[in-house]
Each structure stands twice: as structure tokens, then as C-alpha cells.
Amino acid sequence: MNTRRLAQLAGVTRYEFLLVWRGKIMLVMLGMLLVMCVIFFGPMYDVLQHAQMLAGVEAFPPETKADMSRTFASMVWGPLCITLAGVLPILASDMIPKDRQYRVYPLLESMPLPTGVYLLGKLLGLWLSALSGLVVIMVSVGIIFWWLLDGFDPRPYLEIWGIGALSLLILNGGLAVLLPCGLSNRRAALILMAVVMGGALFLGGEGVWVYLNPIRAPIVMHYFTGFIPERPELISHFTGRDVFLSVGAGAAELVVFGALAWGWLRRGFERT
Amino acid sequence: MIEITNLIKTYAGKVHALNGIELEIGSGMFGLVGPNGAGKTTLMRIIAGLLRPTAGSVRVFGHDLASQRGRQEAKALLGYLPQELGFYPNLSGREFLDYMAILKGVTDSQERKQQIGELIELVRLTEVADRRLKTYSGGMKRRIGIAQALLGKPKLLIVDEPTVGLDPEERVRFRNLLSEMAGRCTVILSTHIVEDIGHSCSDLAVMDKGRVVFRGAPSDLITQARGHVWTITTQGEQPNGSLAVVSTLQMHDGVSYRVLGQPGALYPSAQPVEPSLEDGYIWLMRQSAAVMA
């Protein structure tokens, strides 16, 4: 990639980042996520106090604390996966259609801007804007969690964010940019993604489909339950290997839809 | 140099927008004028590489727009102001220009900053440059559009109906700006405001129903109407239907009509007058309509 293309990529990414934040949808979505996480603190705090009272101790022993750390991480995962697997794909679906709706697209088409750079810039813009917000929430919730437990094992907490949340953000955020790229307005894009995600939820899946389904059940379910080895009754049948397979299948999906979107936009001229 | 050969564009539903356009456009300011639906915007969009012609070819500074590579290279030389320009409402004027400059390939941030500063001053938006575009008036948006077209020092500037939405003073300023730009690059100005062409172009084409019906200097267009423009004063009754009324002026002793055609014996008091560019244009369109009928 030459200097001009790199500068164009950085430019599209930077301004998409700005536009996502200024559009306020991301702010609302992440605000809701933060609120949902905080809502869980109430019962969690009550449970902790009750447990402490029953045990008649000032502080929990390390093994209890480790169990609580994982349970708490799983509790945060609930709102997190709903937001990233279900809400983000719908709310971020207008990344490309908005250019047509605002009638900026003809101007962009008149620039020496390669289609690949445009698409990649859109993807990076969305990913980075969501990631920056998620990092803030991760740190805020982590601090509260630390305060509640008087210190905790950060590994499970970091794993749900670093593997679970990041893969959902990249895979489902990416689909939200690529799938509606041929649509001409935001409403149509929103409807399309709502139908796709609703359909995926309704259809569920068996065999290979479970890894290709954008609901990403192996990732979602693994961090809900399979994540707590000390509580076998909750262990999901989705293991770490299933998470890996789901991420791989999602990445392949992204590559295929990326190639289709690239071809569709690039051949826009031929269709005129 | 822009070379257009036998250009045809047919939209779905067999709508013939362009019917065999042949044009060569050299340096300086070139005007494209015609009624709504004449095919001006279609031609502009094809030259800008946004629209695929049905047949024929377009070469922009030697780059053939039929190939992807040719289009990319031509776009790197282009400044384009579309008829309906959209914006990101949540960016400020300065940010929008910065974004567009990056996309045009102005990679050096210092150069970009300097160009943007100069253009913002040129279009007189200094005071509002850091305000969000959603707060701009129609005229301000038009001026930002003009500024973005001039970014990157284009070799070819395509401006489609640029003065729509500008107040008279801004229109004059913008015409002068385009004339100044024409000293440095090729400017193609499309408009249906004949006055804009007359004040700034030395070469023009008139389009009607997808064809070029006139190509030459504005003075040649005026010459065509010579001997066909008259003033007739009546007590209020409209001139005969065979005459085209160009303007009407209420006088204290009646109504003075400026007409195109041959008043003949019906109006013995008709006075011949020197034609304007607008007269030439209307005369040409009447002739064109008669030929096509």
C-alpha cells in the first residue's frame, strides 16, 4: 500500500471514528451497556454481604474469591453479549448507506479512493470507535468490581472482554458494515440487519451452521456458563475449542462478505 | 484536453439522455448550457467517471475512462462539484474539507492545512469554519462545496449548476473565481443560467435533448439572433403567438415587450434591438425545437 492509500485509509478511519461518536448511537448503546452492568451490582452486592454474614468472616478466602471473580465476569457477559451480538449489528448498519442518504457518495466516487480502502476505513472506524468505548466500560466496571470484592482475579474478566467481546465486536460489527453496503438509506439498512439478526436468533443452528450463525452461540454460551469449571451443573457444551471454531468461521464469513461488498461497490460504475 | 467521441447514454426504460455527443474541450473555461433534461448533468457525471456511457468514449488528459485504471488516474486530476452535494452534518466545515483533501490525496498535513485555510478564506467562511455543517445555510453549504472542488489543485474542474443558492454578490464572486481558476486548469461549467456563461466562458456548447445543438463562442451565439430581436410597445395586449416574448416591461404609456421572431406588418412600430446572449440562446432553442419537430 503506497503513502497516498495509507493516508486515505487513516483519513477514512479517523473521520468515521468521529462520525460514529458524534452520531450519538454508539454513546447510547454503550451507555445502556454500562447501565445494564451497574444494575447487576445491586443483587451482586446483596449476595456478597449475605454470604459474608453467613460465613461470619471479614474477607472471603482466596478460592471463594476466585469463584466469585468468574461468576461476576459471567454476569457482565450477559449485557455485553446482548449489546455486541444483537444490538451493535443493527445500530451500526448505516455506516455505508448513510453516505448515500446524505448524498456524499457521488463526491466520494469522484475521488481517487480505491474501494478496498473505503471499505477497510469504514470497518476500522467502527471497530475503533466501539473499542474505545468498550475499554472505558471495561475499566469502569472492573474498578467497581475490584472495590466490591476487595480485589479479584482479573483473568476471567479480561478473557470475556479480550476474547469474547472483541471477537463479537469484530465479527458482528464487520457484518453490520458489509451486509447492507448496497443499500441506499439508513432505514433499509437497519431493517435488513434486524431481519438478519432476528432470523439468525430464530433459526438457531445445528452442526456447522451453529458456527456460521451470526448469533455466535458458541462464544455467547461459553462465556455464560462453560466458563465456570467449579460449577459443573452450569457448564455449557460449548468449549474453548468451539469458541475458536466460531471465531474462525466468523472471520471466514467476514472475508467472503468483504469480497462480495468490495465487488459490489467496485462494479457500481458498471451498473450505472 | 477532454475528448468525447460519439457518446451515447441510455437509461433503463430507453430514456435517451445523450445521443452521440462529440466534443473536444481544451484549456480555459468551457460552458455547457441547456434546458433542464438536456443531458448536461449526465454528461458531467460521465466526464467525472461516475456514470458508464452506453457507447462512445471519453478521454480526460489522455486517460480513457472506459478502464478502471484510467478512471482512477483521471479522478486524481479532478475537482467536482455535483448539482446536489451532500455533507456529513456532524462534521465542521473545516473537518469536511480536511477529510475531502485526504481522499483527494493531499497527504502532507501542512499543505492540507494551508490549502484549507486559503479556500475557507476564499469562500468567506472563516467565521463559521469550525461550526457543524448541519448549522450552515444553503448558501454556506454551496460555498463549502465549491471549496472542496478546488482542493488538491485540480487540473480539471467540473462544476454542475454551481451558482444555485448563492446570492447575487456571491454569484459574481464565484464566477470571477472560476474565471481565475480557468487560467490554471480546464473548467467545465454546466448551468441553465445563461448570464453565468456569458460573463465567464469564451467557449460554450448548448445542449438540447441529449445533443449538442451549438458549439462556439458566446459572440457567435449572439450573432445567430441578430435581426430577430425587437421591442414592441402595446397597450397591454400580448404580442402575436409566433413571437417569443423574452421580457416584459410596464411603461407609463403601455407595455414594452422584447420579442424574438419577425413582427412584420403586424407591428409596424417594432424596433430592432441588439441581441443579448440570452436572446441568442432562446432563438437557438426555438430553431432547435422547430428542426426536431
Output the domain CATH number for residue B2: 3.40.50.300
**What's the farthest any 2 CA atoms get from each other in chain A?**
76
In this structure, what C-alpha cell is assigned to residue B131? 461550526
CB contact under 8 A, A272 and B52: yes
State whether B70 and B101 are in the same domain. no
**What's the rounded mean pLDDT across residues A73-100?**
89
Q: What is the pLDDT of residue B138?
A: 84
pLDDT of residue A62: 72
Longest dimension (CA), chain B: 71
Which of A107, A108, A119 should we substitute to test contact with B (largest number of B Cβ atoms within 10 Å)? Answer: A107
Chain A residues with at least one Cβ partner in B under 8 Å: 3-4, 7-8, 10-12, 15, 18-19, 22-23, 102-114, 266, 269-272
Q: Chain A: give the shortest CA distance to residue B54, in Å.
A: 9
Does residue B244 share a domain with residue B133? no
Which helix (H) or strand (E) is A235 found in, with range? none
CA–CA distance, A64 with A61 (Å, rounded to integer): 6
Q: How many domains does chain B have?
A: 3
Kindly tell me if the per-residue pLDDT of A128 is higher than 90. yes
Mutate to test the interface with A, among B64, B83, B107 (most CBs of A within 10 A): B107
Instruction: Indicate if the alpha-carbon torsion angle A53, A59, A65, A71 is positive or negative.
Output: positive
Sheet containing B55-60: which strands, arranged edge to edge?
B15-25, B2-11, B55-60, B63-64
Average model confidence (pLDDT) across chain B: 89
Integer Cα distance of A25 and A191 in angstroms: 16
| pLDDT of A11 over the 60 cut | yes
Domain boundary among B129, B152, B175: B152
Beta-carbon pairs below 8 A across chains A and B: 84
The answer to whether the beta carbons of residues A88 and A172 sit under 8 Å apart is yes
pLDDT at A228 exceeding the cut of 70: no
Q: Are residues B214 and B171 part of one domain?
A: yes
Chain B residues close to A12, C-beta within 8 Å: 103
| Core vs surface per residue A20-31: b (16+ CB within 10 A) or e | bbbbebbeebbe
* Residue at a domain's end among B97, B117, B152: B152
Do residues B159 and B58 both lie within one domain? yes
User: In terms of domains, do B42 and B13 share one?
Assistant: yes
Listed residues B174, B200, B224: the one ending a domain: B224
The per-residue pLDDT for A272 is 59
Kindly state whether residues B71 and B2 are assigned to the same domain: yes
pLDDT bin (cut points 50, 70, 90) of residue B242 is confident
B8 Cβ under 8 Å from any chain A Cβ: no
3-state secondary structure of B159: strand
What confidence score (pLDDT) does residue A229 get?
54
Instruction: Give the pLDDT mean for B159-163.
Output: 85
- SS3 of A110, please? coil
Helix, coil or strand: residue B131: coil
The answer to the question of residue B82 being in a domain is no
Identify the residue among B11, B42, B103, B159 best suited for mutation to test binding to A, counting A beta carbons within 10 A and taking the highest.
Answer: B103
- Chain A: nearest CA to B196, how far in angstroms? 24
What pLDDT is attached to residue B124? 87
Say how far apart CA B239 and CA B243 lie, in whole Å.
7
Q: Do A7 and B48 touch (CB under 8 A)?
A: no
Tell me if A82 sits within 8 A of A37, measured CB to CB.
Answer: no
Does the pLDDT value for residue B10 go beyond 60?
Answer: yes
Contact between A112 and B105 using a beta-carbon 8 Å cutoff: yes
Q: Do the domain assignments include residue B272?
A: yes
Chain B stretch 268-287, residues whose beta carbon is closer than 8 A to a beta carbon of chain A: none
For testing the chain A interface, which of B88, B131, B134, B155 should be mutated: the one with the most A CBs within 10 Å? B88
Is residue B120, in this structure, part of any structural domain at all?
Answer: yes
> Chain B residue with minimal CA distance to A8?
B103
**Alpha carbons B171 and B127: distance in angstroms, whole number:** 20
Poorest-confidence range of A36-40, A212-216, A220-224? A36-40
How buried is B36 (Cβ within 10 angstroms: 0-12 exposed, 13-18 middle, 19+ buried)?
A: exposed
Q: What ipTM was predicted for this assembly?
A: 0.86
Does a structural domain hold residue B83? Answer: no
- Where does the pLDDT of residue A235 fall: very low under 50, low under 70, confident under 90, or very high at 90 and above? low
* Domain annotation covers residue B15: yes
Distance between CA atoms of residues A154 and B237, nearest Å = 93
Nearest CB among B52, B104, B107 relative to A111 is that of B104
User: pLDDT value at position A58?
Assistant: 66
Please list, in sequence order, all residues whose beta carbon lies within 8 angstroms of the beta carbon of residue B97, skipping any fewer than 6 positions away: B116, B119, B120, B144, B147, B148, B151
CB B197, CB B277: distance < 8 Å: yes
Q: Is the pLDDT of residue A35 over 90?
A: no
pLDDT, residue B164, reads 77
Q: Whole-number mean pLDDT of chain A?
A: 85
**pLDDT at site A57:** 66
Judging contacts by C-beta atoms under 8 Å, the chain A residues touching residue B91 are 15, 18-19, 22
| Same domain assignment for residues B127 and B196 | no
Distance in Å, alpha carbon of B6 to nearest chain A alpha carbon: 18
A15/B104 touch (CB, cutoff 8 Å), yes or no:
no
Domain membership flag for residue B63: yes
Q: Looking at the structure, do residues B4 and B72 belong to the same domain, yes or no?
A: yes
CB A8 within 8 A of CB B102: yes
Distance, in Å, from the CA atom of B93 to the CA atom of B131, rounded to the nearest integer, reads: 7
Cell 446483596 sits on residue: A46
What does the DSSP 8-state code read for residue A180? T
Residues B213 and B250 in one domain: no
**How far is it, in rounded angstroms, from Cα A183 to Cα A189?**
6
> B235 by DSSP, 3-state: which?
coil
Tell me the pLDDT tens digit for each residue of B86-130: 899 999 999 999 999 999 999 899 999 999 999 999 888 999 999
Is-contact B232 B253, C-beta < 8 A?
Answer: no
pLDDT at B181: 84
Together in a domain, B58 and B162: yes
What digits encode the pLDDT tens for the residues B176-185?
A: 888 888 888 8
Is the pLDDT at A234 greater than 60, yes or no?
A: no
Q: pLDDT-derived band of residue B2, with 50, 70 and 90 as boundaries?
A: very high
Task: Provide the pLDDT confidence category of residue B206 given band limits of 50, 70 and 90.
Answer: very high
Query: Does some domain include residue B57?
Result: yes
User: CB-CB: which of A104, A111, A266 is closest to B86?
Assistant: A104
Kindly state the cell numbers that stand for B10: 441510455
> A271 falls in which pLDDT band (50, 70, 90)?
low
Residue B107 falls within a domain, yes or no? yes
Shared domain check, B48 and B2: yes
User: Looking up cell 460504475, which residue turns up?
Assistant: A269
Q: Chain A within 8 Å of B84 (Cβ-Cβ)? A: yes
Percent of chain B with pLDDT over 70: 99
CB-CB under 8 Å, B87 with A109: no
Closest partner CB to A106 (pick from B50, B76, B105): B50
Domain of B7? Answer: 1-77+154-224
**pLDDT (tens digit, 9 = 90+) per residue, B216-228?**
999 999 998 888 8
Please tell me whether residues B72 and B158 are part of one structural domain: yes
Question: Among the listed ranges A143-147, A235-239, A245-249, which one has the minimum average pLDDT value?
Answer: A235-239
Run of H or E residues at B201: none
Sequence-distant (≥ 6) Cβ neighbours of residue A265 within 8 angstroms: A115, A118, A119, A181, A182
**One-letter amino acid identity for A259?**
A
Residue B65 near residue B48, CB atoms below 8 Å: no
Are A104 and B91 an interchain contact pair (Cβ–Cβ within 8 Å)? no
A231 — pLDDT class (breaks 50, 70, 90): low
pLDDT of residue B128: 96
Q: Rounded to whole angstroms, what are the CA distances from B69 to A83, A113, B77?
A: 42, 12, 13
